[in-house]
Amino acid sequence: MDDTIIAILRSGTPLIYVTLAGVIAQRAGIWHLGLEGLMIIGACATILVITATGSVAIALSVAILLCVLTSILFWFVVEKLKANQIIAGLGLTGLGLGGTTFAVEAIFGSQAAVSAPFGLPRLGPWFGSFGSLSILVLLMPLFVFGMWLLLRRTRFGLRLAATGEHPFAARSVGVRTDLIRLSALMIGGVLCAIGGAELAAGSLQIFSTNMTAGRGFMAFTAVIFGAGHPIGATFAALFFAIVGALGIRAQLLFGDRVPHDLLLGLPYIATVFGIWLSAKLRGGTRAISNFGELRDS
Amino acid sequence: MSERIVAIVRALVFIVIALALCGIIFSIAGYSATQMFEAIIEGAFLRNGALTQSLRWGLPLFITAVGVAISFRAGYFNIGAQGQFYMGAICAAFAAEWLNGLPPLIVIPICFLAGMTGGALWSLWPGILRLRSGADEVITTLMGNFLASLVLIYVTSGPLKDPSGSGQQASSRPLDAAYRISTSYGLSPTIITIALLVFVSMWLLVNRSAFGVLSGLAGRNPTMVTWQGARLMNIGLASFVVSGALAGLAGTIELMGPNGRLASGFLPTHGFTAILIALVANMSITGTAIVAFFFGGLSSAALYLPIIAGLPSSAIEIINAAIALFITAKSGFVDRVLRLGRRGTWTTR
């Protein structure tokens, strides 16, 4: 039982951090399909900098800095150049996946994986069998709660909601919607960097190319599934993590009967199921693809 | 007319911006940006045989991109071209495996049929989920891509595994030479004929048929199309199926032509590039053909990047992604919305 919970927390924590980034972007009216790209940039930067400098603090700062800078680029393209959010987001993801592959190839040759000598600080023996988890797992509920506070209990959160739901009204009372969106995306960049760091350095201490394997898109689905609410989206992300952990379990149990590669697809099937269910529950009237286009300028 | 020229110029400007951004990134990483551009231009257009190689990469991309354009015109962000491409190749490979030994004149058409059916079916389920339940097709088709590449890994290391293959990359048994429609060089009269057929039939479908008019309208204003008495459901499903079938056709061509076998994770960026082509061409069929040739050049240049500029071949991925980041900036979809009030002629071509 402990093993399963550890596996869920291990795969769920990076997903939840990235989901929070998606929540804040969605609240600001941006459908953020670049989460995957930001996440892998965070993961890659963390491992490479740990290997180069031996300091986790520097590694995290570099990862955060890179993700925030990339987020600013995304904001500029989407907000200032009025690019289509979906395509620009996919471009950002491609930039992250291609850029990290490129970086690894440029530094290490044709090698596809880099391992760091050590990862993020662990919880330690005081937590018993959970001691092998990183401290970011313990901080995760705080981040979720903090996000809820930020969105629901602050002036900034209110302006953010206004920006996302009715930008015209927000502007008419003097809210700088472009700056609100910028700050939302920058906060999202920080969260994606943390999620990526946790993914790469939380337990494995390895970066391999394309290691995010669609987690950014799963986080995006969790946002839709959770109706943009931080706590709802967190539970949606947790659901995906549980399905993933069950998939690993199922491999151990039925590995000889069901092909292993197909069990790996369970989280993706769960994601499709999630998007179908949320469309059923809330009616899929406001499809994301239309939203990006009909947004007023 | 002039508006279309404006759109093309704008797309070119943003491609230049994207290339400049890549140049800056590569210079920071310590490579020479000028050498990179040299490698691209030389590899795509100037070297001996470079033009035929651009055509070799461009034709399958063109076929997939036409499918993407048809579904985008109808207002559906079907970004699952990659998965449909894989599924097409997988189904065709199964057909070839089962019919092995029969005369090529029977086997090849059946393989093509199987490939197109596979692609169409892999596009149909997101279409049904979208049109019946409103489940967003962006996510479902994306997940379809991931699932299809898992199926490809499974098929190449399971049912169709080549027992004599090396452990490096799982792949299927090579097709019998009689069933191949081109050599590994990748260009043959058959492939060119297929591409021409696709061009003519899709041009007619888009520009000279009720489906073309209605799906173009549905992309701009679905409510109006419903009021006009057209079945949005049928138009939508048809555009999903056509785009999937075309991606499957491209997958079949890659399998039975240049590749000759199914390898896990082959051409992983095909679908994404096809989406870019459709967007740059502003969903026009003729435009898609021209732009596909350009991106085919980029793909064939990927081979020269390591030789001339010393860059890893993944540099092409970055270039494509940077183009994707900028290509819709103030063009294409946004223009469509901006121009809605005045007139909407631009999608008819």
Supply the CATH number for residue B40's domain.
1.10.3470
CB-CB contact of A139 with A9 (8 Å): no
3-state secondary structure of A65: helix
Please tell me the distance from the alpha carbon of residue B95 to that of residue A211, in angstroms, as a whole number: 33
**A208 belongs to a structural domain:** yes
Q: Concatenate the DSSP letters of all residues of B84-142 into one string.
A: HHHHHHHHHHHHHHHTTTS-HHHHHHHHHHHHHHHHHHHHHHHHHIIIII---HHHHHH
Residues 302-331 on B with a CB inside 8 Å of A are 312, 314-315, 317-318, 320-330
pLDDT confidence tier of residue B254, bands split at 50, 70 and 90: very high
Would the pTM count as exceeding 0.90?
no
The band of A294, judged by pLDDT with boundaries at 50, 70 and 90, is very low
Closest to B246 in 3D by CA, of B297, B194, B296, B209: B194
Q: How many angstroms from the chain centroid is the CA of residue A25?
A: 11
Residue A122 in any domain: the answer is: no
Q: How close, in Å, is residue B103 to chain A by CA atoms?
A: 33
Interface of A with B in 138-197 (CB under 8 A): none
Highest mean pLDDT among A44-53, A275-284, B162-171: A44-53
Q: Which residues of B touch A269 (CB under 8 A)?
A: 143, 147
pLDDT tier at B3, thresholds 50, 70, 90: low
Q: Cβ of B315 and A102 within 8 Å?
A: yes
**Which range is least confidently modeled, A27-36, A160-169, B39-48, B158-167?**
B158-167
Give the tokens for residue A96.
Answer: 């992250």
Tally of domains within chain A: 1
pLDDT at residue B198 tops 50:
yes
Asked if residue A54 is part of any domain, the answer here is: yes
pLDDT at A51 over 60: yes
| Whole-angstrom distance, CA of residue A4 vs CA of residue A10 | 10
What's the domain range around A211? 2-115+127-294
Q: Do B75 and A294 touch (CB under 8 A)?
A: no
Output A290 or A281, whichever has higher pLDDT: A281
Tell me which residue in A82, A275, A285 faces B330 most closely, judged by beta carbons: A82
H-assigned helices in B29-101: 33-41, 50-73, 81-98
Residue B5: predicted pLDDT: 66
Residue A284 to residue B134, Cβ atoms within 8 A:
yes
- pLDDT tens-digit series, residues B54-64: 888 999 999 99
| Predicted confidence (pLDDT) at residue A265 exceeds the cutoff of 80 | yes
Average per-residue pLDDT for chain B: 83
The verdict on residue A270 lying in a domain is yes
Interface of B with A in 244-273 (CB under 8 A): 272
Is position A250 within any domain? yes
> How big is the A-B interface in CB pairs under 8 Å?
173
Cβ neighbours for A285, distance < 8 A, ≥ 6 positions apart: B134
A53: in domain: yes
Residue A108 placed within a domain: yes
Quick: pLDDT tens for A5-50.
888 888 889 999 999 999 999 888 888 889 999 999 999 999 989 8
Cross-chain CB nearest to A91 (options B134, B324, B330) = B324
Range of the domain at B342: 2-348
pLDDT at A247: 78
Which run of H or of E encompasses A208?
Answer: strand A206-208
The CATH number of whichever domain residue A202 belongs to comes to 1.10.3470
| Region A286-296 average pLDDT | 40
Give the ranges where A30-108 is alpha helix by DSSP (H): 35-53, 56-75, 85-108
How many domains are contained in chain B? 1
- In this prediction, residue A169 carries a pLDDT of 85
Query: Tell me, what's the ipTM?
Result: 0.83
**C-beta atoms of B154 and A275 within 8 A:** no
Greatest mean pLDDT among A84-98, A180-194, B210-224 lies in: A180-194
A247 versus B286: the higher-pLDDT residue is: B286
Report CA-CA distances (Å) from A160 to A164, A165, A166, A174, B90. Answer: 6, 9, 10, 13, 47
pLDDT interval class at A290 (50, 70, 90): very low
Per-residue confidence band for B147, with pLDDT thresholds at 50, 70 and 90: very high
% of chain A residues with pLDDT over 70 = 93
Is A107 part of any domain?
Answer: yes
User: Can you state the percent helix, strand and coil of chain B, rounding each to 5?
Assistant: 75, 0, 25
